[in-house]
Structure 1
Amino acid sequence: MTKSQRSRKDEASLGADEETSIVREATESAPVYDLEERTARFGEAIIDVVRKIPRGPLTDRIINQLVGAGTSVGANYIEADDSVSKKEFLKCIGTCKKESRETKHFLRMIARAIPELQADARELWLEARALHLIFSRIWRTGKQKEQGK
């Protein structure tokens, strides 16, 4: 299946309701090896947790930073996937790596600011860590191959 075929299929499966932004065939708990889907689910999960956070002077900045970093991981991965050069690919993957690490930081701040969300923040922190490790490995491997030319 090509990317364009997959995209049309994904677009056809879009649904809208309060709880789920996309109708999925697989369960949420199934491991996702498609990084585009995995990072999209991660961004959605960040948004879901942020909706539970009370707005106030303490949390407003953290919320904005968390949503920005958490959702940009997927956006930057899509950009990397569509890159036209190795240099552009590595730059975008490097940004994914940085944004996933920044997301870990702000999830830690949310856990401190809103103790009742510690379990949710911890679960997302673990996924952010896994994504950071994945993107670090991709970036490091790409850099090694680039230097070995």
Structure 2
Amino acid sequence: MSENKVYDLENRTEKFSLAVRNFCLKLKADLFNRVYIQQVLRSAGSVAANYIEANDNLGDKDLKHKIRICKKESKETKLWMKHLLIYDQIELENERQALIRESDELMRIFAAILRKLNS
């Protein structure tokens, strides 16, 4: 029996935002990390918030705009995740790499959605 997977992007982006938040809580909040933590929290939260807004169906132009923002913020989250200092903690590095992969996957998903909307 084949299993049909349901992909709930709204739920996935929210989980991503929360996972980034939880990751940031584990980091040393020194002078450098404070700036990076603020940036990554904003961009990850923006991915989820803008995708929720995109689903409000205010027209094609608004949908494309919100999806573009989601793509941009996913890309930005990936950048800020790389800037966070983890001070050679292997467990945190593994978690960071997983979040970087997820931000990259989300960016690719939003790029695919945009291509489909533009065709």
Structure label with greater radius of gyration:
1
Verify same fold: TM over 0.5. yes
Percent identity over the alignment is 36
Residue 81, structure 1, aligned to residue 55, structure 2: yes
Show the 5 A alignment for 1:123-134.
Answer: 123-134=98-109
User: Which residue, 81, 100, 110 being the options, matches 1:135?
Assistant: 110
Give yes or no for contact 1:32–1:38 (8 Å, CA) kept in 2: no
8 Å CA contact retained: 1:96, 1:135:
yes
Of structures 1 and 2, the one with the larger relative CO (CA 8 A, separation 6+) is: 2
* 1:100 corresponds to 2:77: no
Q: Distance in 2 between matches of 1:100 and 1:138?
A: 14
1:83 Cα deviation from its structure 2 partner:
2.9
Output the aligned Cα RMSD.
1.2
**Which one-letter code corresponds to 2:111 in the other structure?**
S
Paired residues, what number?
112
Unaligned runs of 5+ residues in structure 1 are 1-30, 145-149
Describe the superposition over 1:23-50 as per-residue Cα deviations: whole angstroms up to 9, x where unpaired: xxxxxxxx76100100010011001000
Compare the two structures and name the one with the higher helix fraction: 2
After superposing on structure 2, the runs of 4+ consecutive aligned residues of structure 1 that deviate more than 6 Å are none
TM-score (norm 2): 0.89
Q: Secondary structure at the match of 1:84?
A: coil
- Please point out which of 19, 23, 28 is paired with 1:45: 19
Q: Is the 8 A contact 1:66 1:106 kept in 2?
A: yes
- Any gaps of 5 or more consecutive residues in structure 2? none
Worse-matched range after superposition: 114-123 or 70-79: 114-123
